[in-house]
Amino acid sequence: MNRRNFVKHLLSSTMGLGSASAALSSMSLVNSALAQTSRRFDDYKALVCIFLHGGNDSFNMLIPNEANDYQNYQKVRQNLAIAQSDLMPISPISSMPYNLALPSFMSPMRQLFSQGNLAFLANTGPLLQPVNKSQAQQNADLLPPQLFSHNDQQKHWQTSWPEQTSRSGWAGRMADLIMDSTNPLSMNLSIAGANILQTGASSLPYSLDASGVETFAALDPNKNWNKDRLEVFTKLMAAETHPLGQAHNAIYTRAQSNIDSVANAINSASEPVVSYPDNHLANQLKMVATLASTQQLLSQPRQIFFVSMGGFDTHDNQNSMQPVLLQTLSEALFAFNADLQARGLANNITSFTMSDFGRTLTSNGDGTDHGWGGHQIIMGGAVQGGDIYGNMPEDFSLNSADDFGDGRIIPTTSVDQYAATLAKWFGLSTNEIDAVFPNLSRFNRRDLGFMRPS
């Protein structure tokens, strides 16, 4: 399917549900979408998805702090509760049902929060539509498919469209609509391998890693002595008839058409003036900052980055693992923010976390199992930081109205709302947002308000 057909298909299939006027507006949208070039945007913006693989136990990030509230928290979390002596209070702008604190191992994040560079989005997760406890218990059709399964919930976070029969993620669909089709380099750049988030119907992410981009040895077209080899290889590619072989060749072609420009951009970028901690996430974010700082050279007024961190599936040893995980995340975010500030890019780049699910409030002995809703982190100069958005659960006790069982908390904000808020800041029009997030209209707020109006 070429891009024109895809855009028509996407828009007609998602908007065909609406009225005739919607169909009309979808036609004009097709035309405007196809006219996109880098000239559409005269500013620079980037989104950075930090995927926390395994399901972050984020109910141990934002912790009720007053005596009674802490006791309720401790009563349900038992041996997994963070000690009250380890808590550092925060003062969100909005009023919360109870006072909150972050654990001391997140103190770099607390600093970003108090400086207004970071916000939390409370109790967010995959939803087909708003659902309360009795609805969820009585009608399994209202639950996201394969609720509590890692890969299915990751997919829901990344596609925001569980009913689709094709395989595209929301960042990929955004690129389908606004990418600059004359630029061989995708606006979706992955530093963490293949992912469905950045996979569109017609656009694909370009993948490199934290150390940069690998250059070809014996297939390097810049070396004269490879000329004959490349000639033969080009003929062999053209002669390939098997679809799997053609798909493999397509990856080669993408690599070959982008290596030079990306490698040059990386080489021309200035070294960060701040020091990053030495961990895998920080290394990935350092590469993001490098690529962001060279966006002009890459002719990319819009970029979406994917980085990831593993280890959050804390079924075991949570008390020893979680402080390390969240400290690593906090320190990496802190360094990244400082780097972007030093490069003058802090207002242009918004970083946000996603994670499979929250985890059970109850313990399985030394860890937690797969839950549902959880809190997410949003960071950047364009974020209305120092606040908590969405709704904190009113009540931490087991079998509360928010508890789907064993402390699996029913989300009160959907992935769709979260992502659509980011998409709006990124510069997508209302129609484009509806096309990318076909389920958004089922929720009553399409902008959660955590981004500054631009």
Span 250-289, contacts to other proteins by CB under 8 A: 250-252, 254-255, 258-259
- Other Cβ atoms less than 10 A from the Cβ of 443: the count is 17
User: Would you state the structure tokens that stand for residue 417, as one six-digit string?
Assistant: 């709302």
Q: Provide, rounded to whole angstroms, the least separation between the CB of residue 324 and other proteins.
A: 11
Out of 151, 181, 296, 454, name the contact with other proteins by CB under 8 A.
151
Among 316, 324, 399, 452, binds other proteins (CB under 8 A): 316
Among 223, 245, 267, 454, binds other proteins (CB under 8 A): 245
Give the distance from CA 386 to its chain's centroid: 20
Structure tokens, 315: 């079924």
324 binds other proteins (CB under 8 A): no
In 3D, which of 365, 335, 265, 443 has the Cα closest to residue 111? 335
Cβ nearer to other proteins, comparing 16 with 310: 310
Residue 66 backbone phi and psi in degrees, to 5: -75, 155
Among 235, 278, 444, 453, binds other proteins (CB under 8 A): 235
- Taking CB under 8 A as the binding criterion, the range among 99-107, 188-196, 338-346, 418-426 that sits at the site for other proteins is 188-196
Name which of 38 and 249 has its Cβ closer to other proteins: 249
Token pair listed for 88: 């550092």
Q: Which of residues 191-210 bind other proteins (CB under 8 A)?
A: 193-194, 199-202, 204, 206-209
Contacts of 436 (CB under 8 A, 6+ apart): 160, 170, 173, 174, 177, 420, 423, 428
Region near other proteins per CB under 8 A, out of 25-33, 122-130, 315-323, 415-423: 315-323
Tokens coding 292: 């962001």
Site string for other proteins, 108-147 (x = CB under 8 A): --------------------------------x-----xx
In the numeric block, which tokens belong to residue 262? 């990306």
Burial of 393 (0-12, 13-18, 19+ CB in 10 A): buried
Asked whether position 66 contacts other proteins by CB under 8 A, the answer is no
Stretch that binds other proteins, among 249-257, 294-302, 326-334, 373-381 (CB under 8 A): 249-257
Distances (CA, A) of 262 to 4, 207, 267, 299, 301: 27, 11, 9, 11, 15
38-57: contacts with other proteins (CB under 8 A): 53-54
Stretch that binds other proteins, among 69-77, 285-293, 433-441, 446-454 (CB under 8 A): 69-77
The site for other proteins, by CB under 8 A, has a size of 80
By the 8 A CB rule, do 25 and 431 touch?
yes
Among 246, 275, 399, 441, binds other proteins (CB under 8 A): 246
Query: By CB under 8 A, what part of segment 348-387 binds other proteins?
Result: 362-367, 369-370
Task: Considering the complex, state which of residue 36 and residue 164 has its C-beta at the smaller distance from other proteins.
Answer: 164
Quote the least distance from Cβ 282 to other proteins, whole Å: 18
Contact 92, 65 (CB under 8 A): no
Cβ count within 10 A of residue 65: 18
Residue 294 or 363 with smaller CB distance to other proteins:
363
The reply to whether 190 sits near other proteins by the rule CB under 8 A is: yes
Reported as type and span, the H/E element at residue 303 is strand 302-309
Place of tokens 């569109």: 200
The 8-class DSSP code of residue 412 comes to: S
Q: Which of residues 391-450 bind other proteins (CB under 8 A)?
A: 398, 405-406
| One-letter identity of residue 1 | M
